[in-house]
Amino acid sequence: MNKKFYIEHLKEGLLTNNPTFVQLLGMCPTLAVTTSVSNSIGMGLSATAVLMFSNLFISLLRKFIPKQVRIAAYIVIISGFVTAIELLLHAFLPSLYASLGLFIPLIVVNCIILARAEAFASKNGPLRSLWDGLAMGLGFTFALILIGSVREILGAGSILGYDLTFGVWQPALLFIMPAGAFITLGCIIAAVTALRRAADARVKAKEKTARVTGKEEE
Partner 1 sequence: MQLMDILTPILWFALLGGVFGLLLAIAARVFAVKTDPRIPQMEEALPGANCGGCGYSGCSAYAEAIAKGEAEVNLCAVGGTPVAQRLAAVMGVEAGEIVPHRAVILCSAEKSEATMKYLYEGARDCVSATRLGAGERLCEKGCIGLGSCAAVCAFGAIKMKNGLAWVDPELCTGCGTCFKACPKHIIRMVPVKNNYVVSCSSTENGKLTRLACTKGCIGCRICEKKCEVGAITVTDNLASINYDLCTNCGACATACPRHIIVTVGKVELV
Partner 2 sequence: MKMKYYLKVTLSLLLICMAVAGLLAAVNALTVDIIAANAQKEREKAVGEIFSDMTSMQDAEGEWLNGVNTVYAVYQNDVWIGYAVDLDSRGYGGEINMIVGIGTDGTVCGVRVISHSETPGLGSRATLSDYLDNFIGVGERLTVKEDVDAISGATISSKAVVDGINLALSLGLGGVEAHE
Partner 3 sequence: MEIFALMLSAVLIENFIFSRFMGCCPFLGVSEKPSTAVGMGMAVVFVMTLSSALTWAIYYLILVPFHLEYLQTIAFILAIAALVQFIELFLRRFVPALYGALGIYLPLITTNCAVLGAALINIQQGYSFLESVIFGCSAGLGFTLAIVIFAGVRQKMTFCNPPRAFRGFPLTLIAAGLAAMAFSGFSGLSM
Nearer to partner 2, 173 or 201 (CB): 173
75 binds partner 3 (CB under 8 A): yes
Long-range CB contacts for residues 156-161, cutoff 8 Å, separation at least 24: 156/35, 156/36, 158/36, 159/37, 160/36, 160/37, 160/38, 161/36, 161/38
Closest CA to 176 of 157, 160, 161, 156: 156
Question: Closest separation between CB of residue 210 and partner 3, Å?
Answer: 26
From partner 2, partner 1, partner 3, none, interface partner of 82 (C-beta below 5 to 8 A by class): partner 3
d(CA 155, CA 190) in angstroms, rounded, equals 20
d(CA 142, CA 164) in angstroms, rounded, equals 22
Cα-atom radius of gyration of the chain, to the nearest Å?
A: 20
Angle, CA of 7, 55 and 46, to the nearest 5°:
90
d(CA 10, CA 14) in angstroms, rounded, equals 6
According to DSSP, the residues that pair with 159 across neighbouring strands are: 162
88 binds partner 2 (CB under 8 A): yes
The contact mask relative to partner 1 for 20-59 (x = CB under 8 A, - = no) is ----------------------------------------
69 binds partner 2 (CB under 8 A): yes
From partner 1, partner 2, partner 3, none, interface partner of 16 (C-beta below 5 to 8 A by class): none
d(CA 62, CA 13) in angstroms, rounded, equals 22
d(CA 17, CA 159) in angstroms, rounded, equals 28
Nearer to partner 1, 4 or 211 (CB): 211
Return the residue of 1, 3, 4, 92 that touches partner 2, per CB under 8 A: 92
Return the residue of 24, 72, 87, 93 that touches partner 1, per CB under 8 A: 72
The contact mask relative to partner 2 for 151-190 (x = CB under 8 A, - = no) is -x--xx----------------x--xxx------------
Which residue type occupies 116? R
Residue ranges that bind partner 2, judged by CB under 8 A? 32-33, 35-36, 39, 61, 64-66, 68-69, 72-73, 76-77, 80, 83-84, 87-88, 90-92, 94, 101-102, 152, 155-156, 173, 176-178
